[in-house]
Amino acid sequence: MAATDAIRQRHMEADYLNVGTAEEPDFALCGTGFTSLNENPSAQTSSKRYINTVSNRQSVNGYQWSAPFEADQIRSQEALEFIRNISDKLLVGADCETEFVQVDLDKPAEEGKNTFHARQRIVAIGVSAATDNNGEMGFSGTFYGVTDPVEGTFNTQTKTFTAAGAAAASTLAVQQPAET
């Protein structure tokens, strides 16, 4: 198999959670302590059969994105402490939402060193279980997509996301429904 045909390795995608605020983001790596973090795009489909066809026509009309995770509780890991705080306080709504950035470390950006293609979205963090594995504490849950992803770049040194076409680093604002 040629190097260009190599299967991507999981360590080539770095995931970051904003453990700060929307106004002053502080992105922490979801790395040490996470034993799994898997993306599920979950395509939403519709189908229709016309009178002149035998089979239904199917189409994708949306996504219900989520990313289930399992992790050890390690206090020195900022992303894990952020999630543990959500679990301990049973936070809901906007209190359990933050920015999530997926960085393709195997896809460098043209802007320079330490900058890579990335996707940013708002996620709601739901913790479903706190676990005891022979005396070691852990938890599992899911990052639920709140917004569509925004394409851009992420600098792993400065930990800043820049939306595609943006002149300066930017962050997403949680999309609120319009008042009626």
* Contacting residues for 97 by C-beta, under 8 A, at least 6 apart: 122, 123, 124, 125, 146, 174
Return the H-helix or E-strand segment holding 13: strand 13-18
In sequence order, what DSSP letters do the residues of 95-125 get, joined into one string?
GGEEEEEEEEEEEE-TT-TTEEEEEEEEEEE
Distance CA 85, CA 80 (A): 9
Query: In this structure, are residues 162 and 151 in contact, taking their beta carbons and an 8 Å threshold?
Result: no
pLDDT at 176: 45
Q: Do you know the residue count of the chain?
A: 180
Query: In this structure, are residues 137 and 129 in contact, taking their beta carbons and an 8 Å threshold?
Result: no
- 27 is written with which tokens? 């992105």
pLDDT at 133: 83
Distance CA 149, CA 123 (A): 10
Q: What is the pLDDT along the chain (180 residues), one digit of tens a residue?
A: 566 788 999 999 999 999 999 999 999 999 999 999 999 999 999 999 999 999 999 999 999 999 999 999 999 999 999 999 999 999 999 999 999 999 999 999 976 789 999 999 999 999 999 988 889 999 999 999 999 999 999 999 999 999 998 644 344 444 444 444
Look at the alpha carbons of 120, 82, 37, 92 in this order and tell me if their dihedral is positive or negative.
Answer: negative
